[in-house]
Amino acid sequence: MKGFAQLAATNLKLYLREPITVFFTLAFPVMLVLIFGAMYGNEPLALFGGYGSMDISMPGYTALILGAVGLLTVAINTSSYRESGVLRRFRATPLRPVTYIAADVTGTFVMMLAGMVPLLLAGWLLYHVRFEGQLPSVFLAVLLGGLAMFSVGYLIASLAPSARAAQVIGMAIFYPMMFLSGAGMPLEILPATIRRIADFLPLTYVVKLLRGLWFGETWGQHLLETAVLVGILGVCTAVAARFFRWE
């Protein structure tokens, strides 16, 4: 337990010292609010069901942080820790693999929650964005979406032959999803063909679930999204655990 807490706290500290992570989790979402807020404002639109562009961007940008942390931070960190021999050093201690992963996930998840703070503050202060959901429900959705994205990250790290490859794969999956899943921009403004592609992107389901719960819908209305994310989490975790290598 002592080891778990210390490792989670240390991982969080290390993330905060990593410029790329800090940029994508803390600064990038706020930048999006500033840029797209300036472009579209937050006037209620029929297209978005009476919500403003910034209102519906909040759950989207939250999903974006989850995707960035899972596909970039987790994939790149884990694979480079393996390649450089950091994991090898941990393995020579009594630390259990499951404790290592749990501490890594916890540190990463807290980092992600920290990233939501400036995003929501910016949205609220600049555009008085609306929130009509229940906090515990939305938190659970963030947790489920986060774990699903992290598991994809661990899967990439487990299967990629090198840290460099993991980085490329992570980026190749993340960047298209940023634009096509409804995270970076609402699906409503994208053409129908692109929306069909979105159905095949994991992040789409995070966006849909978060957005629904954010504006007061129930889990019952999002059984498909929930099932898909639980499925991703289960499959990716199982495969990653099967192929995970310490060195």
Provide, rounded to whole angstroms, the least separation between the CB of residue 8 and another protein: 11
Residue 24 CB partners (closer than 8 Å, separation 6+): 65, 68, 69, 72, 73, 115
Task: Assess 218 for contact with another protein (CB under 8 A).
Answer: no
What residues from 102 to 161 belong to the interface with another protein (CB under 8 A)? none
Task: Assess 6 for contact with another protein (CB under 8 A).
Answer: yes
Are 52 and 45 a contacting pair, CB within 8 Å? yes
Q: Which is nearer to another protein, 55 or 104 (CB)?
A: 104
- Out of 2, 196, 242, 245, the only residue in the binding site for another protein (CB under 8 A) is 2
Are 47 and 188 a contacting pair, CB within 8 Å? yes
The Cβ-side half-sphere exposure at 11, using a 13 Å CA radius, reads 26
Task: Assess 31 for contact with another protein (CB under 8 A).
Answer: no
Provide, rounded to whole angstroms, the least separation between the CB of residue 107 and another protein: 12
Provide, rounded to whole angstroms, the least separation between the CB of residue 167 and another protein: 16
Q: Which of these, 103, 34, 110, 26, lies nearest to 64 by C-alpha position?
A: 26
What residues from 41 to 100 belong to the interface with another protein (CB under 8 A)? 81, 84-86, 88-89, 91-96
Q: Tell me, what DSSP letter sits at residue 161?
A: S
3-state DSSP assignment of residue 184: coil
**Per the structure block, which two tokens stand in for 159?**
């299967």
The contact set with another protein (CB under 8 A) reads 2-3, 5-7, 10, 13-14, 17-18, 81, 84-86, 88-89, 91-96
